[in-house]
Structure 1
């Protein structure tokens, strides 16, 4: 699998977010091991220290746990915690930015709501 790394943020943060997304979508189930640091480094052709830093941030957040000699595992409740954090960030940061952009474009709240209802079923 290939990933297009962008220059907007460090690769370890992008990898951290990718792993978090995979936990939330069930690709990395709770209680199961995530791919090893060396495997991820080889798969994505990035430095193992970069992978280690991404994993460490997830350990610090309580989403992954280290098991000596076994690797990294997704903790119980990780999906719920990540989803809760993502919702909070969406509400606190993305919604206000979206509404400000709509305001700048001259859209009032009723127009925005109508547009959301009309386009809500799109894939």
Structure 2
């Protein structure tokens, strides 16, 4: 379920973000409580609480006092925007730098991408 590559709270937060992005969790939908999540995955409730707090801080979840945590309106769009920006920063920009370094005209890169899109 959880791996050793990153802290469990971060893995929980990432899993919930993925569920929001894939619409397994929809906006204003209630998510499992801290205790429900902890019992289901057999982990410390404090770990879950830390993940939930991170998601609240990022605007992915919001709390209704006495009721629970819910997916924020626009959470999916906010997450998609962040992923798009990270895609350009982590993938496209280095690709452009490499193309320029080896003398590939950007027009050739664009043509190649458009050719893939036509398939």
TM-score, with length taken from structure 2: 0.77
What 5-or-longer segments of structure 1 have no aligned partner?
none
* Distance (Å, rounded) in 1 between the aligned partners of 2:12 and 2:88: 23
Unaligned runs of 5+ in 2: none
1:49 and 1:117 map into 2 onto residues whose CA distance is 50
User: Which of 21, 27, 32 is residue 30 of structure 1 equivalent to?
Assistant: 27
Q: Normalization by structure 1: what TM-score?
A: 0.75
Q: Greater CA radius of gyration, 1 or 2?
A: 2
Matches within 5 A, 1:56-71: 56-71=53-68
Cα-Cα RMSD: 2.6
CA distance in 2, matches of 1:114, 1:29: 36
| Aligned 1:1-123 pairs, distance under 5 A | 3=1, 5-96=2-93, 99=95, 114=112
After superposition, give the CA deviation of every residue in 1:66-119 in whole Å (9 maximum; x if it has no partner).
11110001111111001111111121124446x39x87xx9x6858x759956x
Residues 29-78 of structure 1, C-alpha deviations (whole Å, 9 max, x = no match): 10110111111112222111111111101101111111111000111111
Query: How many residues get paired?
Result: 113
